[in-house]
Amino acid sequence: MKLHVLGCYSATPRTNTNPTAQVLEINNHMFLIDCGEGTQVELRRNKIKFNRIKHIFISHLHGDHCFGLVGLISTFRLLTREADLHVYAPKGLKEVITLQMKLSDSWTNYKLIFHELTSNTSELIYEDDKVEVHTIPLDHRVYTNGFLFKEKLGERRLDMNEVLNADIDVAYYRKLKQGADVPDNKGNIVKNELVTKAPKPPKSYAFCSDTAYNESIVPIIKDVSVLYHESTFLEKNKKLAAPTKHSTAKEAATIAKKANAGQLILGHYSTRYDDLNLFKEEAQTIFENVELAKDGKSFTYD
Amino acid sequence: MKLHVLGCYSATPRTNTNPTAQVLEINNHMFLIDCGEGTQVELRRNKIKFNRIKHIFISHLHGDHCFGLVGLISTFRLLTREADLHVYAPKGLKEVITLQMKLSDSWTNYKLIFHELTSNTSELIYEDDKVEVHTIPLDHRVYTNGFLFKEKLGERRLDMNEVLNADIDVAYYRKLKQGADVPDNKGNIVKNELVTKAPKPPKSYAFCSDTAYNESIVPIIKDVSVLYHESTFLEKNKKLAAPTKHSTAKEAATIAKKANAGQLILGHYSTRYDDLNLFKEEAQTIFENVELAKDGKSFTYD
């Protein structure tokens, strides 16, 4: 699993700060999460191949999270994309994009499929044999979802030394990975756990931005490997967080702790702060394993 | 008069090329012309004060000319702008922006006034005592206008040596500038042309992008001081120009020559070309005074 942070600042794009956009590499997927203005340029800068992006998840319809989408969709068309593109977004974005395409007298030459989100409870919005994606209802000024990306539990792994010692025919390897006991070449049944190891622990990633402090998300993201939680403000500006429905670094850390997250990544900083280390320090008073998102930074999890 | 080129490439924004946006400084105005994705960042990079922009002219609704507008409008709101903002654009853009604002549950705290363009003949769309702006109907795949910005003829200029020699009271200077004959201190009438000089020749700027070769614009832009004319292609790729309704450098130069323009600025280059000097060379076979637009370059006319 690898997270590419393309932009992690709130509000408006500036010369050196980009609005929200991330790419999550997980089980061969390249999931684009949010798409602020300029995201297509940041994708290029971060050398992410456009044709690998097949699913885009939009948290909410504030501009710093979605104004780059129509341009990306248009660029895909200009690059003669053929693969389907799925967009998971609050109801309404389909109407905007459709109107913009109509007015420019250009429609996509690939299939553009909108999955409009309206539920206020967590729902499964994508699933294949290796990964699933759930919404995380957030508490913001407009209808907003975070997204939980979860690897499914994989197959058991062969302990090759033991498998060879036990003299098991290669024809049984598939069944071994599926957890079955199998016969050796003499016809004796070999217990699965003697020749296999547990599956790799599945990884998960929760994207939670934008949101006020909201404990109701804790059961949904419980035990998540990596939590990206917005921290627009520091505690010293907490009075700004409530009316704008944003969080402080301390609040983000409190959610990480309650959810028993493996790691917390902070982001969506207000551009009023020059020293982002203050966010880390504040969060670490509550939760130890804190990282700071940074435009162009990537995080790898093996 | 000063032209700031923020972006002058066609199609999609890239790491080092920006889509169309320009700022024309003329008679204390800062007119923004077109607003591709990323324009607000380019305005910052070029140190153009946001609050000086009061009029935005959008040529057409292809994304590389307008996808940055909604972000700029939103940023103006976040910066607590108070001044009115006038947007001159093809019919339809108002509906898009309004829908986007509605979906993000945010409207501007300043007056946002759309002037929707639908005419297929040139019309006067802005006028004050010093400058006027006319549309230039262009021939593109969607409804498109260029814009002609014209200084009005100013007042006559006092020739101070002659004025003092003629012994004219300061109370008459205003009338002199307006062209009147006035009495000297002895009561004799002084002919205006003896003590004043002709007004400064008014400057004009025509923005013509995007368009196929279109001679019908020549009478509208006749004798323009500076013509920005798109040259998406070179003649060697002319077969691409016709179906996409774009022009070659040679065609742009032909329009400049027929219109008796003072200077031609080329732009809206396809990103397929590495050497932009080929555009200049091609145009100069037809018309001598050619400049190449470049992102971040400005042109000053005194």
From the list A12, A74, A96, which residue is nearest B99 (CB)?
A: A96
Cβ–Cβ below 8 Å for B13 and A106: no
Asked if residue B106 has pLDDT above 90, the reply is no
| Residue A102: CB atoms within 10 Å | 13
As a whole number of angstroms, the distance between CA B99 and CA B74 comes to 13
Cβ–Cβ below 8 Å for B71 and A13: yes
Instruction: Read off the pLDDT of each residue in B24-51 and give the average, rounded to a whole number.
Output: 97
Catalytic residue among A64, A167, A210, A295: A64
Q: Residue A111: is it exposed, middle or buried by C-beta count within 10 angstroms (0-12/13-18/19+)?
A: exposed
Cβ–Cβ below 8 Å for A41 and B104: no
**With an 8 Å Cβ cutoff, is B61 touching chain A?**
yes
| Under 8 Å between Cβ of B245 and B197 | no
Cβ–Cβ below 8 Å for B78 and A12: yes
- B253 φ, ψ (degrees, to nearest 5): -65, -35
Cβ–Cβ below 8 Å for B96 and A103: yes
Q: Is B151 helix (H, G, I), strand (E, B) or coil?
A: strand
ipTM of the complex: 0.92
As a whole number of angstroms, the distance between CA A30 and CA B290 comes to 46
As a whole number of angstroms, the distance between CA A68 and CA A177 comes to 43
Q: How far is CA B163 from CA A287, B32, B166, B192, in A?
A: 81, 41, 5, 10
- Predicted local confidence at residue B61, as pLDDT: 98
Predicted model pTM: 0.93
| Residue B239: CB atoms within 10 Å | 8
Cβ–Cβ below 8 Å for B67 and A63: no
As a whole number of angstroms, the distance between CA A114 and CA A88 comes to 6
**With an 8 Å Cβ cutoff, is B41 touching chain A?**
yes
The tens digit of pLDDT for each residue in A269-285 reads 999 999 999 999 999 99
Chain B closest-CA separation from residue A241 CA (Å): 16
Q: Give the pair of three-digit tokens for residue B110.
A: 């300043």
> Which of these, A13, A246, A37, lies nearest to B78 by C-alpha position?
A13
- Predicted local confidence at residue B112, as pLDDT: 97
Indicate if the alpha-carbon torsion angle B69, B70, B76, B82 is positive or negative. positive
Q: Is B238 helix (H, G, I), strand (E, B) or coil?
A: helix
Q: How does residue B292 score in pLDDT terms, banded at 50, 70 and 90?
A: very high
| Under 8 Å between Cβ of A100 and A90 | no
Contacts of A280 (CB under 8 A, 6+ apart): A249, A266, A290, A291, A292
Q: Which amino acid is at B64?
A: D
Which residues of chain B have a CB within 8 Å of the CB of A74? Answer: 12, 63, 67
- A73 φ, ψ (degrees, to nearest 5): -60, -40
Share of chain B above pLDDT 70, in %: 100
Write out chain A's pLDDT in tens, 302 residues: 999 999 999 989 999 999 999 999 999 999 999 999 999 999 999 999 999 999 999 999 999 999 999 999 999 999 999 999 999 999 999 999 999 999 998 889 999 999 999 999 999 999 999 999 999 999 999 999 999 999 999 999 999 999 999 999 999 999 999 999 999 999 999 999 999 999 999 999 999 999 999 999 999 999 999 999 999 999 999 999 999 999 999 999 999 999 999 999 999 999 999 999 999 999 999 999 999 999 999 999 98
| Cα angle, residue A154 at apex, residues A148 and A156 outer, rounded to 5° | 155
Question: Which uninterrupted H or E stretch holds B78?
Answer: helix B69-78
User: Which residues between 195 and 214 in chain B have a beta carbon less than 8 angstroms from any beta carbon of chain A?
Assistant: none
Strand ordering across the sheet containing A131-137: A124-127, A131-137, A145-151, A204-208, A226-230, A263-267, A290-292
From the list B67, B78, B93, which residue is nearest A11 (CB)?
A: B78
The tens digit of pLDDT for each residue in A126-170 reads 999 999 999 999 999 999 999 999 999 999 999 999 999 999 999
- Residues facing B263 on adjacent strands: B226
Strand ordering across the sheet containing B21-26: B112-117, B85-90, B53-57, B29-33, B21-26, B2-7, B298-300
Instruction: Read off the pLDDT of each residue in B198-208 and give the average, rounded to a whole number.
Output: 97
**With an 8 Å Cβ cutoff, is A68 touching chain B?**
yes
From the list A90, A96, A104, which residue is nearest B100 (CB)?
A: A96
Q: How does residue B247 score in pLDDT terms, banded at 50, 70 and 90?
A: very high
Catalytic residue at B159?
no
As a whole number of angstroms, the distance between CA B255 and CA B234 comes to 15
As a whole number of angstroms, the distance between CA B107 and CA B101 comes to 6
Q: What is the DSSP letter of B92?
A: T
Asked if residue B107 has pLDDT above 90, the reply is no
Asked if residue B105 has pLDDT above 90, the reply is no
The tens digit of pLDDT for each residue in B119-163 reads 999 999 999 999 999 999 999 999 999 999 999 999 999 999 999
